[in-house]
Amino acid sequence: MVYQYVIIMAKSFNYISLSSVSIPKGVFDYVELANKIVYKYPSDKFYWIGTGDIPKGLDGRNVCFTGFLNEKEKKRMLTKSNTIFLNCSHFEGFSVPIAEACLLKVPVLCYKLPELYATYGPHINYVNCYNSNEFFKCLELLRKNFVIYKEKAVLARRFVIENYSAHKFTSKFMNSLEVLNERRIK
């Protein structure tokens, strides 16, 4: 209860997106979202970590484009209190940044791409594809119930460790190569 009270009192949130700055990665959606949120909650801050040219005509005054950050700086930003990880990307293969955010127990909100749902299941939070109004509403909801979503992020961390740890990956890789030996024997 005290923890909840502190968060409600703090009222300032950090939002982070981590990918190259490009249109398919949803930079316009992110900026639109930032403008809406900052208008309503002026003390909130939006960061975009990653390199790339900022597209022409982008009104990015409410977003801090940090450029390249090293591992330590990234971790420092993600582990700040009241941080939410946003992924507005329109296509993904796996999305390592989402897994890294889960690992640091940061709540994640992203579009419900079939690739992401197949990879992370119900352990992260989704919005119907490319619906920026719904994204805004979901983010407000996440902001208001941050403690509940933070608890869900703990489960997401466990899911990532169980499924995508280096050891698990290596054993999956070796198992998949077993088929080569079997074919040779046949």
Residues in the site for another protein, rule: CB under 8 A?
20, 22, 24, 51-52, 68, 70-72, 74-75, 91-94, 96, 99-100, 103, 114-115, 117-119, 160-161, 163-170, 172-181, 183
Question: Measured from the CB of residue 61, what is the shortest distance to another protein in angstroms?
Answer: 26
Instruction: Give the residue with the Cβ less far from another protein, 112 or 152.
Output: 112
What is the strand order of the sheet 108-111 is part of?
63-67, 45-49, 14-18, 83-87, 108-111, 125-127
Three-state DSSP class for residue 91: coil
Angstrom distance (rounded) from CA 47 to CA 33: 12
Instruction: Give the residue with the Cβ less far from another protein, 39 or 91.
Output: 91
Question: Measured from the CB of residue 56, what is the shortest distance to another protein in angstroms?
Answer: 18
Question: Measured from the CB of residue 75, what is the shortest distance to another protein in angstroms?
Answer: 4
Cβ 113 vs Cβ 128: under 8 Å: no
Instruction: Give the residue with the Cβ less far from another protein, 7 or 27.
Output: 27
Cα dihedral across residues 45, 50, 51, 53: positive or negative: negative
Decide the pairing of beta strands 83-87 and 14-18: parallel
Instruction: Give the residue with the Cβ less far from another protein, 62 or 95.
Output: 95
